[in-house]
Amino acid sequence: MGGGGFSMEPDNPLMDSWLLSLTGATTPKICFLATASGDAREYIERFYTAFSALPCTPRHLPLFRREDPDLRAVVLGQDLIYVGGGNTANMLAVWRIHGLDAVLREAWQAGVVLAGLSAGSLCWFDSGVTDSFGVALAPLRDGLGLLPGSHCPHYDGEALRRPCYRELIRTGALPPGLATDDSAAMRFSGTSLVEVVSSRPGAGAWKVTADGEQAIDARYLG
């Protein structure tokens, strides 16, 4: 998700309901990772408020005050992992210290649905555009690498995202990749892009190469 869901569209449950439907479970177990925000209490409370109103069993997995000794058991016991926004670089560093990066890869291979917005979207790719290192946007080159190429979230939501991403790809600083607007999401099966959906009309995704960008048709969930 380039952006959207409960944290950006609290009165629009379309995206979050769609994510739950991907699990195929009647009452899916969903786990929220708020690592990128430093496990911000208010963010976690907003997650519970949103998903307690939906047919699911919500929980979160804190790492700054870690409570669960067996991360693998927690993650592999879920139907859906939902990664929140924040500082992508810091999140990846914390995940790697705790070994959660390897656990998430195992969960992906086991068929657990992995999702997220902003940092929670960028993290799955090889590389992308981030504001993790300061106000200015910069390349991030050490994503989890579950999905090949680069990625840019918030493509229409922040004025500098689109020109920065296009320039980084044009100059070879980042490989070609995929960009996603706020309120739009890409669904992958393995590493294959299956579809793009949106929770507001007009939001979509884009293939970006050194030659320019190409829009990908999006299905509106409303």
> Which of 154, 183, 198, 199 is the catalytic position?
154
Burial of 98 (0-12, 13-18, 19+ CB in 10 A): middle
The answer to whether 37 is a known catalytic residue is no
Alpha-carbon distances of 118 from 26, 170, 181, 184, rounded to whole Å: 27, 22, 10, 11
Helices then strands, each counted (H, E), the chain:
7, 13
154 labelled catalytic: yes
Which of 7, 118, 121, 183 does the annotation list as catalytic?
118
Instruction: Give the whole-angstrom CA distance, residue 69 versus residue 72.
Output: 9
Give the orientation angle of helix 88-98 with respect to helix 100-110, to 10 degrees. 90
- Which active-site residues does the annotation give? 118, 154
